[in-house]
Structure 1
Amino acid sequence: MTGLLLVTAVEPEAAAVRAGVDGRLTVAAVGVGPAAAAAGTARLLAVAEAGGRPYTGVVCLGIGGGFAGRVEVGGTAIATRSVAADLGAESPDGFLPIDDLGFGTAVVEADAGLVKTLRAALPGAAVGTVLTVSTVTGTAASTEALATRFPDAVAEGMEGYGVACAAAGLPFAEVRTVSNVIGPRDRAAWRIPAALAALTEVGETLGLA
């Protein structure tokens, strides 16, 4: 996967990926949330292109929450698409995605070639939609609503859709390692070290591919 830019939200995630990549690919933390991640990714892509060393694709990596029964804590999720799950409008009849409002789309498909390579390299990973949210899901009601709206969703994070928008025109993929089950907020149940260790394993895979 020579020439890929690997981006995370925060430095601990980037450090975990770097430990696996071992200098073979560029890894950078670009900020938390879709707006910061999009801006940070766009800047890195523009600087590389201006310097005559453009990247060939972008992979968003990080820890995130996983839907119960769809991916295990400590496991890995590969996105077939990244969806801005809370981009839209409320209505008396429920949430209206931006697609239904006619203002664009909240869905970015992952590059089929990258997904195929990632699936071959990470055969134990769950595969499906990864949701991008600006507010992390923390109640049973909101978890049920998302699981119903997105029956193929395996995980959620806060940056994928933003990175995908910044990478427009380049192959894009998103990989999440799972630190917690999506649902009522329970910090005691989070397994962040396990998710970061899994990120290092993903980095090793990307660095050798």
Structure 2
Amino acid sequence: MTAAGLVPGRLLIVTAVAAEAEAVQAGVNAGSADPATVHVAPVGVGPAAAAAGTARLLTLAEAAGVPYRAVISAGIAGGFPGRADVGATVLGARTIAADLGAESDDGFLPIEELGFGTSILEADPTLLEFLTAALPHAVIGDILTLATVTGTAATTAALQARHPAAVAEAMEGYGVASAAASVPFAELRTISNPIGPRDRAAWRLREAFSALTEAAAAACG
């Protein structure tokens, strides 16, 4: 069974940018799933654009009478050193809006402590179980969503301390998960760079896109 066949209906895979969508589409095309059952689309960078773009696609499909039955947020990401190496594939057990909250003299306060909701959204267990089986070498853990990605050692250390189960950070997962609402959701990422001080020379975009294509092929094969 493929991810597309996991539930009746169509599967929506959303990415931030076109290059990610192209890498995912190449994997879908290489798999055995009926292409008509899998829709890959870039919806924009950041949680707000991702939420709005995903909600639009879900609404249009519902109105047309061909609703999506599951949503996967896919793309490349930064990996926490020692938790997810460059080139690795990661799956989010939970998607966490890591900068949704407030500063205080005692440190960062997540939105839960402010009484305004939750910053943590869990992956659909059935969809996550399938993806874990299809991608047995994937690293499983929390994936952080941030509007401002990490670029210093101090922020990296603070995030690692606050989120001991986090393996990667990206910018869209929480927005996609919020838009998905009751539609089964999961997040899949491949690691292009270590999280920490920005060093473009250490980024491995080609390897990450290749891993993304392989992961999509396994999920749809």
Q: Shorter-normalised TM-score: what interval?
A: over 0.9
Amino acid at match of 2:16: A
Paired letter, 2:110: P
Of the three residues 127, 133, 142, the one matched with 2:155 is 142
1:195 aligns to what? 208
Assess if the C-alpha contact under 8 Å between 2:135 and 2:219 holds in 1: no
- Alignment partner of 1:11 out of 18, 24, 41: 18
AA aligned to 2:18 is E
Question: 1:95 aligned to 96, 108, 111, which one?
Answer: 108
The one-letter code sitting in structure 2 at the alignment partner of 1:82 is: T
For the residues of structure 1 that align with 2:218 and 2:73, how far apart are their CA atoms? Answer: 14
Which amino acid is the alignment partner of residue 163 of structure 2?
Answer: F
CA deviations 1:69-117 (Å, max 9, x no partner) are 1111011110000000000000011000001100011110000011111
Write the distance in 1 (CA, Å) between the matches of 2:220 and 2:90: 18
Deviation track 1:97-143 (CA, whole Å, cap 9, x = no partner) reads 00110001111000001111111111111000000000010100000
Deviations 1:140-168 (A, max 9, x none): 00000000000010000000000000000
How many Å apart are 1:65 and its aligned residue? 0.2
TM-score, normalising length from structure 2? 0.93
Q: Given the alignment, which residue of 103, 127, 143 partners 1:114?
A: 127
Larger mean Cα displacement after TM superposition, 21-30 or 51-60: 21-30
1:45 to 51, 58, 61: 58
CA distance, structure 2, for counterparts of residue 96 and residue 71 of structure 1: 26
* Percent of aligned pairs sharing the same letter: 62
For structure 2, the 5+ residue unaligned runs are 5-9, 30-34
- CA-based RMSD of the aligned residues comes to 0.7
Match of 1:28 among 41, 48, 65: 41
Matched residues in 2 for 1:192 and 1:30: separation?
20
